[in-house]
Structure 1
Amino acid sequence: MHAPAQESEAAGRQSLLATTFSAFKHRNYRLFWAGQFISLIGSWVQTVAHGWLVYDLTRSPTKLGIVSAAGSVPILLFSLLGGVAADRIQKRTILLWTQSLLALLALALGLLVATHRVRYEHILLVAFLTGTVNAVDIPTRQAFVVEMVGKSDLMNAIALNSAMFNSARLLGPVLAGLTISAFGVAPCYFINALSFVAVLIGLVMMEFQPNEHISSKGSAWEDLVAGIRYLRHSPNILMLIGGVAVPSVFGAPYAMLMPVFARDVLHGGPNVLGLLMSATGVGALMGALTLSALSEYPKRGHLLVGGGLLFAAFLILFSMSRWLPLSLLLLVGVGWAMITYNATTNTLVQTTVSDELRGRVMAVYSLMFIGLTPLGSLQAGAVAGRYGAPFAVAAGAVVCALFALFVVSPRALRWSTA
């Protein structure tokens, strides 16, 4: 008697699963996702270790900000050239080189730490070199997705990339905290170097047609000018790319100050640092999976505005907390709101831009999303050094809230109902 209802419910669950994970039907994307997932776990292990090492050596929030800035300045300087390269050279070839170089840089810093020769200057140099490689790697990876899944599954693949990134964000910091507590900082760098093997194997195993899409026939300078001209005449894309700049400068630097919150605000050690960063990953993963399931939701402007405002609100409340369980809960909210805002923006950009200019447009997106981080790291480090980390996080969150309310909201809400 209830069989038809049960069958309908089962079919609905299968349909939801098929929608949520539709990009996985593409073999190349499965290889890419699995390799990147392992590699990103290693990257998060190193990120936590990096912050702990710098703060342990210097006990200076300002110097924490300088290291973060050193890794992001090259993206500000070189990402446009990286985008041109992504539109001129086979993307898989670029990624094989960039991922190999990132592995070697992690290995080099790990050896310096293990032999007790590491100095603050070494950390700055490796951060700058890593940022230089990322200036090419990041826009190439983002533009590579459409070649693996096609436009029909692009939105779902972007959401699953966010889920992958934030699953690693959940696991990596916990592994880092345990590793630092048991063995010290050096093994974290070796773990990261080894993790790149997975993504390199995935890239080598991929299968493409011999005529992989390379769009450019002009000079590199002509390609750069064409990309800038395209953006100037694309107001919707300009609005979306501009919409990540303010949160990148005033909101995102909260993560750079997590070692200060772990040690000085919550009076914990590396395990507490790992928990704080993993809590953000839990919320971000929840947000990514939600967006993956809602890939056909029409009013994405509402997601942008809501994500921006909730991100700021949760950050303000987190800055006021002195109790670890409450801080962890609030960081889950921060992660959910952050990924809702960022992944929605990325999805709208990727589904709007023309294919032949995708690398250059995503380079500009990366410049605004990551390349402006030096400004944010420096301002947050300076404010934290003078007024304390909680004030720095709260002040930046207020700026983000005002921006979402008075700049993003008027255009995004009209756009979502268009």
Structure 2
Amino acid sequence: MFASLRVRNYRLFFSGQVVSNIGTWMQRIAQDWLVFTLSGFDPVALGIAVALQFTPTLLLSLWAGVLADRIDKRKLLVAIQTGTLLQAAALGVLDVLGIVTLWQVYLLCFVLGTLSALEVPTRQSFVAEMVGRDQVANAVALNSSVFNMARIVGPAIAGFAITVVGTGWLFLGNALSTLAVLAGLLLMRPEELFRGPAVARAKGQLREGLRYVRGRPDLVTVMVLVFFVSTFGITFFTSLAIVAGNVFETRADGYGLLSTLLAVGTFTGALLAARRGTRGRPRVRLLLGSAIALGALEIGTALMPTYLAFGLALVPLGFATITFLNTANALVQTSVSPDMRGRVMGLYVLVLIGGNPVGGPMTGWLADLFGGRSPFYIGGAVSVVAAVVCALILARRSRDRVSPVTGPLAERVRLG
């Protein structure tokens, strides 16, 4: 289960993530609650904050993938993490001094989104450089286990800390936690990285990456599924705050508890994914099945009548969610050539996160118009339909001997 941790460079990265991700989740909960309170508990305002944070992904993630293929990923991550530290510190100082306004939070959401648009494809493609191709699936799953362990600890701390010390100190805590990531990156041994061939700067590299994906119908189908599920189904960052505040009329601690229960499921799913990652590469069948389960469980969660029942239903929903996300990530990473990995992961991040500028405001609008549960009903239905349609497309292509699906991922479509 922990095979990737035998690699020193990845062990340093992993250790830094343990600390930093807790701070990141504390900031996410605090930021959502700060926007919610500054706006007078307006769900539309929360949707706007989400849109501003994820809009830069639409503009920059493809270019970030090209950048990750061209230059030293480790040095690029050091620069990005330094910017993230400064963003959290600025928001924390404004809040602690009591001078923070909604427009300032919106601006800093956009700054954080810009940094994330550069960081995510770089970090995703850097995983293979740290551990090598054979350990990618295990390392991706371990990253998710840390991320989701932080989703248990971070919201639990944040929900109660907000009521005691306010949101500002949580932003400052996140700034300090970023130092752990920076230390891990700086202590790595560059000569031990599994680097692919250097990609020289040249015109048309972005178009080359897009042509590569377009020529792989298997990758296109998976990315289409990821787009629909992530945009319409996985809207929990916005919808949970709305359900906590407007449906069950709880405060920040109630929101934090719901986030923690969701994270219990995602953490469990990530651990099982790490175990699967030591046994071989992931299967398309698991991706499709987890997408259908995610949608069905999301609809079931929305039907829960009480706060307790709703919270407990989030555990299996979180399990299905992380199974889907981990499987999609590992499928894409293990089926592309090393010299294209940065660009392909840039496109993957675009379809994974780029729909949030639509999904965030849509979630707020639906909740405002039809009630706080409506994003769960609609998101669940969209996820199920998208998974069924993609399953039919992949099944048809696998049987089509005239225009067969090609590539490593295609073999997994036929086998499982």
Match of 2:403 in 1: none
Structure 1 residues 164 and 416, CA gap change in structure 2 (3 angstroms): farther
Could you tell me how far 1:191 is from its partner in structure 2? 0.9
Moved more, 38-47 or 201-210: 201-210
CA contact (8 A) 1:216 1:223 kept: no
**Which runs of structure 2 are paired with 1:244-323 in the superposition (5 Å)?**
244-295=226-277, 296=279, 300-323=283-306
Could you tell me how far 1:370 is from its partner in structure 2? 0.7
Taking structure 2 as the reference length, the TM-score comes to: 0.92
Match of 2:89 among 85, 107, 124: 107
Structure 1 residues 409 and 116, CA gap change in structure 2 (3 angstroms): farther
* Counterpart Cα distance in 1 of 2:220 and 2:312: 34
CA contact (8 A) 1:266 1:322 kept: no
* Counterpart Cα distance in 2 of 1:181 and 1:340: 33
* Counterpart Cα distance in 2 of 1:290 and 1:48: 26
CA contact (8 A) 1:35 1:198 kept: yes
| Residue type of the alignment partner of 1:288 | A
Whether 2:314 is the aligned partner of 1:326: answer no
Match of 2:404 in 1: none
* Counterpart Cα distance in 2 of 1:298 and 1:112: 47
* Counterpart Cα distance in 2 of 1:208 and 1:366: 25
Whether 2:119 is the aligned partner of 1:137: answer yes
Match of 2:318 in 1: 335
CA contact (8 A) 1:38 1:198 kept: yes
Could you tell me how far 1:409 is from its partner in structure 2? 5.2
CA contact (8 A) 1:240 1:345 kept: yes
* Counterpart Cα distance in 2 of 1:92 and 1:151: 18
Match of 1:12 in 2: none
| Residue type of the alignment partner of 2:16 | G
* Counterpart Cα distance in 2 of 1:103 and 1:299: 35
Match of 2:402 in 1: none
* Counterpart Cα distance in 2 of 1:367 and 1:252: 15
| RMSD, aligned α-carbons | 1.7
Could you tell me how far 1:406 is from its partner in structure 2? 2.5
Taking structure 1 as the reference length, the TM-score comes to: 0.92
Could you tell me how far 1:248 is from its partner in structure 2? 1.6
* Counterpart Cα distance in 2 of 1:265 and 1:233: 46
| Residue type of the alignment partner of 2:31 | H
* Counterpart Cα distance in 1 of 2:176 and 2:304: 37
Structure 1 residues 406 and 235, CA gap change in structure 2 (3 angstroms): closer
Whether 2:335 is the aligned partner of 1:352: answer yes
Could you tell me how far 1:303 is from its partner in structure 2? 1.3
Moved more, 128-137 or 92-101: 128-137
Could you tell me how far 1:184 is from its partner in structure 2? 0.8
Match of 2:12 among 25, 31, 47: 31
Could you tell me how far 1:62 is from its partner in structure 2? 0.9
Match of 1:371 among 351, 354, 365: 354
Match of 1:117 in 2: 99
* Counterpart Cα distance in 1 of 2:282 and 2:204: 37
Any idea what the Cα deviations from partners look like across 1:265-316, whole Å, max 9, x if unmatched? 1222111111111111110111111122122367722211221111112211
Structure 1 residues 298 and 136, CA gap change in structure 2 (3 angstroms): closer
Q: Percent identity?
A: 37
* Counterpart Cα distance in 1 of 2:282 and 2:2: 21
Any idea what the Cα deviations from partners look like across 1:81-136, whole Å, max 9, x if unmatched? 11111011100100000001001001101111111111111111111111111111
CA contact (8 A) 2:19 2:177 kept: yes
| Residue type of the alignment partner of 1:95 | L
CA contact (8 A) 1:70 1:124 kept: yes
* Counterpart Cα distance in 2 of 1:412 and 1:243: 14
Whether 2:235 is the aligned partner of 1:235: answer no
Match of 1:9 in 2: none
Structure 1 residues 267 and 409, CA gap change in structure 2 (3 angstroms): farther
* Counterpart Cα distance in 1 of 2:197 and 2:174: 31
Any idea what the Cα deviations from partners look like across 1:140-183, whole Å, max 9, x if unmatched? 00010111111121111111111111111111100101210111
Any idea what the Cα deviations from partners look like across 1:207-246, whole Å, max 9, x if unmatched? 0219955621132x42112111111111222222222100
Match of 1:406 in 2: 389
Stretches of structure 1 that go unaligned for 5 or more consecutive residues are: 1-19
| Residue type of the alignment partner of 2:316 | G
SS in 2 for 1:389: coil
Whether 2:192 is the aligned partner of 1:207: answer no
* Counterpart Cα distance in 1 of 2:198 and 2:118: 17
Match of 1:176 among 151, 155, 158: 158
CA contact (8 A) 2:281 2:331 kept: no
Match of 1:361 in 2: 344
* Counterpart Cα distance in 2 of 1:46 and 1:154: 28
Query: Where do 4+ consecutive residues of structure 1 move more than 6 Å?
Result: none
Whether 2:378 is the aligned partner of 1:395: answer yes
Structure 1 residues 61 and 412, CA gap change in structure 2 (3 angstroms): farther
Structure 1 residues 36 and 373, CA gap change in structure 2 (3 angstroms): same
* Counterpart Cα distance in 2 of 1:235 and 1:197: 41
Moved more, 250-259 or 51-60: 250-259
